[in-house]
Copies of this chain bind each other. A is one copy, B any other.
Amino acid sequence: MRVDAWLTLLQAAQQVSTRPWLEALKRCRSAEALIAEAPRLLSRDTYAEALAKLASPDEPTADRWREWLAQPHRALITFGSRDYPARLAELPDAPLALWVEGREPALLAAPQLAIVGSRSPTTDGSRTAEEFARYLSERGLTITSGLATGIDGASHRGALRMVGGTIAVLGSGLDVIFPRVHAPLAAEIAARGLLVSEYAPGVAPHKLFFPQRNRIIAGLSLGTLVVEATRRSGSLITARLAMDQGREVFAIPGSIHNPLARGCHHLIRQGAKLVEEAADILVELAPQLREEGIALTTVVSPPATPEDMPFMSDPSYQKLLKVLGFSPTPIADVSARANLTTAEVSSMLLQLELEGLVEALPGGRYSRLGKKN
């Protein structure tokens, strides 16, 4: 039976690179044929263990996998099958199969944008990720990310209830949600979107799996947006993979004093598109969407209403905002620059914070925020 042959093949093929298996599979055209041909195709030296596993697969493991697959809204999508996403299949090291769970398996074939970034972003960065994800998903792009804390989570949340929906690609089996704090978010994504993994049920997360997982996030997507990332962030790996795959890379700039902007600036220097607004991404992707015959959803927005902030006509508030700036600043510096007492500055900052114009940061520091509604 087809699924049984695949469960055998996947037991044997647990390697970092899927390349030799994919090549063998393309030659043999089915998992059954590959299993039969394997002793002739794969070198006995390198693949001794894999060949042994193909000859006698572990039945309890296959049973557990079958049991997992028997539950509703779960599937194994194998390379070469109709449901395997075409964009991902282009990768020379595409996954042999994807384990998926969720009510929206059709999302796999939808036009996707990856949004990734720091696990510890600024409040502004999280908000930007969530707003960009909401805007783009509202217009029909599916937002794909990695379920990590920070930018990943914010992106999933922004897209979750919108028409484009969201896909989370995991670096572990779908029954081993990591980070644990995102178990409720994963459950919501399963209920409204799709969870995806190359790793079989029961596989625990491993640091080697995350760069592998990142190639899937980039590979499923038309482009990858990096929101906030240090120079050492794993998001830069995802962006690099996207570039290598010939996909668009987008990055959001930030203050030169914000270490979380450094990764984005590095990408922009390497050719990533600088984006200031979510609409910039649609403009960049438009030719490709058009070429592939993908129509996005038209959203009619209510006209913007002027905000009612009478205190903003007070010049001292305007001055305060001007001296504050967009990078974290201690309150003492703000009061010195504005030539106001700390008490005055304190109460003015609170007012501005309530209006969403400034952000209070740990250590008594403040920074300006963009205007929110």
**Using Cβ atoms and an 8 Å threshold, which residues of chain B touch A323?**
122-123
With A325-B122, A326-B124, A337-B123 already in contact, the answer to whether A254 and B252 are too (CB < 8 A) is: no
**Using Cβ atoms and an 8 Å threshold, which residues of chain B touch A125?**
325
Instruction: For the complex formed, measure the closest distance between the CB of A66 and the CB atoms of chain B, giving whole angstroms.
Output: 46
Are the C-beta atoms of B256 and A255 separated by less than 8 Å? no
Closest residue of chain B to A273 (Cβ to Cβ) is B269
With A253-B253, A310-B231 already in contact, the answer to whether A326 and B276 are too (CB < 8 A) is: no
Are the C-beta atoms of A371 and B325 separated by less than 8 Å? no
Residue from the set A124, A252, A277, A370 with the largest chain B CB neighbour count within 10 Å: A124
Choice from B258, B268, B327 contacting A368 with Cβ under 8 Å: B258
Are the C-beta atoms of B256 and A370 separated by less than 8 Å? yes
Are the C-beta atoms of B123 and A257 separated by less than 8 Å? no
Which residues, 109 to 136 on A, are CB-close (under 8 Å) to B?
120, 122-125, 128
Are the C-beta atoms of A122 and B369 separated by less than 8 Å? no
Instruction: For the complex formed, measure the closest distance between the CB of A324 and the CB atoms of chain B, giving whole angstroms.
Output: 8
Judged by a CB distance under 8 angstroms, whether A182 is at the interface is no
Closest residue of chain B to A322 (Cβ to Cβ) is B122
Are the C-beta atoms of A252 and B257 separated by less than 8 Å? no
Judged by a CB distance under 8 angstroms, whether A281 is at the interface is no
Are the C-beta atoms of B253 and A277 separated by less than 8 Å? no
Return the CB mask of A318-335 against B: 1 if under 8 Å, else 0.
000011111100000000
State the number of copies, please: 2
Choice from B128, B256, B273 contacting A253 with Cβ under 8 Å: B256
Within the assembled complex, what's the spacing in Å between the Cα atoms of A327 and B273?
A: 22
Judged by a CB distance under 8 angstroms, whether A91 is at the interface is no
Which residues, 77 to 129 on A, are CB-close (under 8 Å) to B?
120, 122-125, 128
**Using Cβ atoms and an 8 Å threshold, which residues of chain B touch A327?**
124
**Using Cβ atoms and an 8 Å threshold, which residues of chain B touch A123?**
322-325, 337
Closest residue of chain B to A264 (Cβ to Cβ) is B253
Are the C-beta atoms of B370 and A257 separated by less than 8 Å? yes
Are the C-beta atoms of A277 and B258 separated by less than 8 Å? no
Are the C-beta atoms of B255 and A326 separated by less than 8 Å? yes
Closest residue of chain B to A268 (Cβ to Cβ) is B274
Which residues, 321 to 373 on A, are CB-close (under 8 Å) to B?
322-327, 337, 368-371
With A123-B337, A276-B265 already in contact, the answer to whether A326 and B253 are too (CB < 8 A) is: no
Instruction: For the complex formed, measure the closest distance between the CB of A267 and the CB atoms of chain B, giving whole angstroms.
Output: 10
**Using Cβ atoms and an 8 Å threshold, which residues of chain B touch A257?**
124, 326, 368-371
Instruction: For the complex formed, measure the closest distance between the CB of A88 and the CB atoms of chain B, giving whole angstroms.
Output: 30
Instruction: For the complex formed, measure the closest distance between the CB of A179 and the CB atoms of chain B, giving whole angstroms.
Output: 18
Judged by a CB distance under 8 angstroms, whether A261 is at the interface is yes
Apart from the given pairs A124-B257, A253-B255, A253-B265, 13 other A-B contacts in the complex at a CB distance below 8 Å: A124-B327, A125-B325, A253-B274, A254-B255, A256-B277, A256-B370, A257-B369, A258-B368, A265-B274, A265-B276, A268-B268, A269-B273, A269-B274
11 pairs from A and B in contact (CB 8 Å cutoff): A123-B323, A123-B324, A124-B325, A253-B274, A254-B326, A255-B368, A256-B277, A258-B326, A265-B274, A269-B274, A274-B274
The interface of chain A, by Cβ under 8 A from chain B, is 120, 122-125, 128, 231, 252-258, 261-262, 265, 268-269, 273-274, 276-277, 310, 322-327, 337, 368-371
